[in-house]
Amino acid sequence: MNNIIDLNGEVYVLSSFLTKYGVNKGTIYNGLSRYNRKITFHYDHFTDNIDKRLKWIRFSSIPLKLIKRHCIPTETELQDSLEDSKMDKKEKQIVRSFDFAYHQGFIGCKKHYHGLFHDVDSIDKYAKAHAVLSTCASLNTHGVTIKSLYAVYKNWNFSVLDIKSAKTFYRRIANFSKEGVSSVVHAAYGKIRGSSTVNEKVFNQLELLYRDKKMLSGR
């Protein structure tokens, strides 16, 4: 797709796109020349900012007969392909971010869970959940939708959040953005009966109690 771009809803292609479908280079050159001399409205184009040798041709200005003769995809089909390409890039970015959080980023989050948990597996588990939630919150802040994040997460190879719906996924990210570490480990203290919630003062007291190794049960 490097020879196709979308500018404000208009598809532009390079000559290499047309030659791929068998269009003669001479035909393209003559068309560009005729447009420059204002002999025709076909082959409207502009020069690439980086490589002045490249000319971006407005697809809708290419003669329809030429498009049909060489079985070139329609502008709508090209726009759909560009959208698919953008989505692929976005998905790859999200997967790379998740993979980094799971394999490396969580290491910096482990400090929050030392003392709260006394075994390596638990510390790693919550640190990884922390890293993934932090990554989701950061990507969302930079314009990636929760819907896009969840679409990738549900097919991701590593399950660290124990989430089975988009609604729960959204809630976990929203809670993390507001509460940070406490939203990650609330589950470790057990469910609170009734409609009570744990405020920051009480959470800090619970945290101190849980750090006490003499406790027989964290819950």
Q: How far apart are the C-alpha atoms of 28 and 25, rounded to whole Å?
A: 5
What is the pLDDT at residue 187?
46
**Partners of residue 12 on adjacent β-strands:** 5, 58
Rounded to two decimals, what is the model's pTM? 0.54
What is the pLDDT at residue 195?
45
Q: How far apart are the C-alpha atoms of 19 and 13, rounded to whole Å?
A: 11
HEC profile of the chain: CCCEEEECCEEEECHHHHHHCCCCHHHHHHHHHHHHCCCCCCCCEEECCCCCCCEEEEHHHCCHHHHHHCCCCCHHHHHHHHHHHHHHHHHHHHHHHHHHHHHCHHHHHHHHCECCECCHHHHHHHHHHHHHHHHHHHHHHCCCCHHHHHHHHCCCCCCCCCCCCHHHHHHHHHHHHHHCHHHHHHHHHCCCCCCCCCCHHHHHHHHHHHHCCCCCCCC
Q: How far apart are the C-alpha atoms of 73 and 205, rounded to whole Å?
A: 65
Digits of tens for pLDDT over the chain (219 positions)? 478 988 888 899 999 999 999 999 999 999 999 999 999 999 999 999 888 889 999 999 999 999 999 999 999 989 888 877 776 778 888 988 999 999 999 999 998 888 777 788 888 999 999 999 999 999 988 888 888 899 888 888 887 887 878 888 888 898 888 888 888 876 444 444 444 555 667 777 777 776 665 655 555
What is the pLDDT at residue 59?
95
Q: How far apart are the C-alpha atoms of 210 and 208, rounded to whole Å?
A: 5
What is the pLDDT at residue 216?
54
Q: How far apart are the C-alpha atoms of 109 and 160, rounded to whole Å?
A: 14
What is the pLDDT at residue 32?
96
Kindly state the tokens that stand for 89.
Answer: 């890039």
What is the pLDDT at residue 26?
95
Q: In terms of C-beta density within 10 A (0-12 exposed, 13-18 middle, 19 or more buried), how is residue 125 classed? A: middle
